[in-house]
Amino acid sequence: MTYFTLFINFIEVFLFSGFIAYTFNLNKKIRYTAIIGMINYAITNISSYYSYDGVFLTIAVLLVTIFGLIIETKTLNFKTLFIPIIYNIIIILCTSISVEIVTYIFSIDISEIFLNSTIYYIACILSKILQLILSLFIYIVLDKYVITLKLKEWWIIIAAEFSMIITIGLCLYSLNFGKINQMIIKSLLFLCVFSNILFYLVILVCNKNYNEKIQNAKKLQEYAFKKQKYKTIEHIKKETDILNHRMFYILWQIEWLLEKKDLSKIKETIEKYKSLLNKNQYVINSGNDIFDCLVSLKLSKCFDNNTDLKLSIAIEKNEFYDNLEFIDCLNTLIDAIILNNEDTDLSMLEINSFLVINICIKGNKDKNIKLNTAVDSLSKKYNTKTNIYFDDNSYNIRLSISITNRGEF
């Protein structure tokens, strides 16, 4: 095993792990690339040392990559298996293409590549250049598609991809050692590559239909929430009209109490009216129907629990806000605020594709520290930058969340 082999192995495995880290948009891309890259680098070098470059090496590298991906993402879906397998086929394809190019340019047989170190170096370098170009191309293509396929519905394709890797590996082995007619092997390789392209096209078509169903279901859900929101707004309007109608009576009552100098009763009447007005301050109308409906329902608990919450929300219409996972995290945060039952200022402001959440809580900072669990959950989920600071009278939290997320397979 030469230094050149170590170098080529290094390029191959770290291109692979880096491609996976960025394609899946992992939170800790460098850590994943380094750890998985080093493990696969060790496996590949051990294999090179014993002059073994067969199917079991490919399977070992795949298993390490997929296992690391499952640990990092905490999920096992179609994308988790499909992308690493496809990438391994790309590596094999790059090797095959570079071998064909070199044999054509130098007019030599495949077996002669390994006898001439210069030609062997050229073939290896060309293979890695092709791998880099295809990696960038596929990353850009995948960035434009959102594939949401269920693993249990696509296990046949996964099995077929594994079979294809084994077939291509056996073909290359036979091609290198001349045990079968080269034309038959090349035809079989072409058939494997062509079949793989067809697989990918079928997946895109099926995924398009699946996503259309998802979008239709989402539209129906949004319509239901929009209908509910309009009902709530209509109810508030009726309550407001009633309150406005009662205003004359309330003012007359206060005037009568003033004449009697019953200050405690006056204060009680004013507080009662203020309470009725405050009931409607927690109704949100940002244009994001699911967000508006669910968060408004959660905020109504502040009124029911007599939590003194001053609310300010200035956001645009964006699919990000209607994401149920985000709403769940935000409602968990609101639950923590209600649980503290302290005077609280909560603002949500959209600035340059970032949602900035500011929480200012008056009171004992030791009591308010229980909010950290909810804040940490939101911070880890969206990889946010969180600032927590104290002053003499308040406990302050500031989170910045990017609202420009890539879609996932």
DSSP string, 239-277: HHHHHHHHHHHHHHHHHHHHHHT-HHHHHHHHHHHHHHH
Residue 180: per-residue pLDDT: 52
Give the total number of structural domains in the chain.
Answer: 2
Residues 175 and 291 in one domain: no
- Tell whether 214 is covered by a domain: no
| CB neighbour list of residue 371: distance below 8 Å, 6 or more residues apart | 333, 336, 337, 340, 359, 361, 395, 397
Continuous H helices in 24-154: 29-49, 55-73, 78-106, 110-113, 117-143
User: What domain range is 37 assigned to?
Assistant: 3-180
- Tell whether 244 is covered by a domain: no
- Tell whether 408 is covered by a domain: yes
Per mean pLDDT, which range of 125-139, 342-356, 375-389 is the poorest?
Answer: 375-389
Query: Does residue 77 contact residue 154 with C-beta atoms inside 8 Å?
Result: no
Which of these three, 180, 211, 246, is where a domain ends?
180
Which of these three, 180, 197, 223, is where a domain ends?
180
**Three-state secondary-structure class, residue 403:** coil
- Region 315-327: mean pLDDT is 86
Query: Does residue 1 contact residue 49 with C-beta atoms inside 8 Å?
Result: yes
Residues 16 and 157 in one domain: yes
Query: Does residue 90 contact residue 168 with C-beta atoms inside 8 Å?
Result: no
Q: Which pTM was predicted?
A: 0.50
Residue 42: per-residue pLDDT: 92
User: What percent of the chain is helix, strand and coil (3-state, nearest 5)?
Assistant: 75, 10, 20
Residues 35 and 158 in one domain: yes
Could you report the per-residue pLDDT of 11-69, keeping only the tens digit for each?
Answer: 999 999 999 998 888 888 899 999 999 999 999 888 877 766 666 787 888 899 999 99
- The enclosing domain of 366 has a CATH number of 3.30.565.10
Residues 287 and 399 in one domain: yes
For residue 364, pLDDT over 60 is answered with no
Could you report the per-residue pLDDT of 73-85, keeping only the tens digit for each?
Answer: 888 777 788 788 8
